[in-house]
Amino acid sequence: MAPGAVEWAPPLAHVKLVRPRRCAAAGADTWALPARRRGGAPQPGGYSEPRGRPGGARLRLSPHQARQRFATVPVARLATVGSDGQPHIVPVTFAVDGNHIYSAVDAKPKSSRQLRRLRNIAGNPRVAVLADHYQQDWSSLWWVRADGYASILAEPSELARPLRLLAERYPQYRASPPDGPVIHILAERWVGWAASGRL
């Protein structure tokens, strides 16, 4: 190869996938890239992820680490599914108490108090909540997702603690307490990834 020349490599779309394997949890076929050899070298025609940065190895977060990071961000994304099977995702403010996540229907302007997220939860309580951190230094990237079941709290006796936790996080709620129901999510699974061990 001539000095200074750039070696051409085929795009990932041309990588040959290995035969499908059954996914016991989903009951469906999934495809995988060819396994890598020891030391990170790819099989011939395979694909290898770039190595981690010197500042810290990429890591899969434990449930405890995931929950810790999740609680540091001011806004998360709540995903629900409607009766028509259509996904719906919205940004939400929230408070975390162990495996419990609370998000209130507050006084911010809305087209209707009959929010789609509430209708979706009434029909299908399975939800996911995603929190993430992005900045130009990609060694600081991370994301966390909580999967669980949601319910709607409306009784005064049920609302006292969630509203107190939310007011502790957001001064806007201390000035104007939410007057709508509270979404309660019991997280059954915490998963996450971080580019390094730095928080």
pLDDT digits 0-9 by tens, 67-124: 999 999 999 999 999 999 999 999 999 999 999 999 998 765 455 557 899 999 999 9
The answer to whether the CB of 150 falls within 8 A of the CB of 121 is: yes
Least confident span in 3-7, 64-68, 102-106: 3-7
With H, G, I as helix, E, B as strand and everything else as coil, classify residue 139.
helix
Q: Do 178 and 82 share a domain, yes or no?
A: yes
Alpha carbons within 13 angstroms on the beta-carbon side of residue 189 total 8
pLDDT for the residue 6: 45
pLDDT value at 182 more than 90: yes
Domains contained in the chain, number: 2
Q: Which domain holds residue 133?
A: 59-194
Which residue bears the tokens 């299908």? Answer: 124
What is the domain-level CATH number for residue 138? 2.30.110.10
The token pair that represents 168 in the structure block: 């502790």
Residue 103 within any structural domain of the chain = yes
pLDDT value at 33 more than 70: no
- C-alpha closest to that of 98 among 187, 168, 191: 187
Q: Do 40 and 118 share a domain, yes or no?
A: no
Given 24, 49, 74, the domain boundary residue is: 49
Q: Would you place residue 198 in the very low, low, confident or very high pLDDT band (cuts 50, 70, 90)?
A: confident
Q: Do 34 and 111 share a domain, yes or no?
A: no
Residue 1 within any structural domain of the chain = no
